[in-house]
Amino acid sequence: MPIDASLVGRAFPATQPLAVTEEAVSAFATAVGGSAGGAVPPTFPIVVTFAALQDFLAAEQVELSRIVHGDQRFRYERPVVVGDALTATLTVTGVRSIGGNDIVSTASEITDAAGALVCTATATLVHRGGAA
């Protein structure tokens, strides 16, 4: 189903806080071939960003298998550290249709337990409307 262009500008409810534990960071780092116990990988905030994206897709009844990630950018105010509790709040910034695919642009503000901005994550999702 097509993505509703009237969603542009809408902010979705904040995610549940994600606890940045040693275990979660080690699992993420080792999955991409890094070592456990080091610095938090810079792409780690995708975990809470993805939770926000998934909430958005579920709210819009979009099937995840039809989604391909088009673009992802992070701008960091400070490094994420073990002990953080991160929350993402997603806003839809654009919806356009190209060749039967819907391109959805989003920006998620990722904040810590004190409400301070840690990172801004912008993502473009491609909803593949083509092959059945």
Partner 1 sequence: MSDLTPGAALEPRTYEITRADLVAYAHASGDHNPIHQDESIALAVGLPGVIAHGMYTLALVGRAISEWTGDAEVLELGAKFVAPVVVPAEGAARVTVAGTVGERNDAGLLTLALEITSDGTKVLGAPKVTVRA
**Residues in contact with partner 1 by the rule CB under 8 A:** 24, 27-28, 30-34, 38-39, 41-43, 46-47, 50-51, 54, 64-76, 79, 122, 124, 128, 130-132
User: CB 6 → partner 1: shortest distance, Å?
Assistant: 26
Contacts (Cβ under 8 Å, ≥6 apart) of 5: 95, 96
Dihedral class, residue 38 (left if φ above 0, else alpha if ψ from -120 to 50, else beta) = beta
Please, is 6 exposed, middle or buried when counting C-beta atoms within 10 Å of its C-beta (0-12, 13-18, 19+)? Answer: exposed
Closer Cβ to partner 1, 6 or 17, answer by number: 17
Closer Cβ to partner 1, 13 or 42, answer by number: 42
User: CB 71 → partner 1: shortest distance, Å?
Assistant: 4
Closer Cβ to partner 1, 6 or 68, answer by number: 68
d(CA 70, CA 96): 13
User: CB 36 → partner 1: shortest distance, Å?
Assistant: 11
DSSP annotation of 25: H
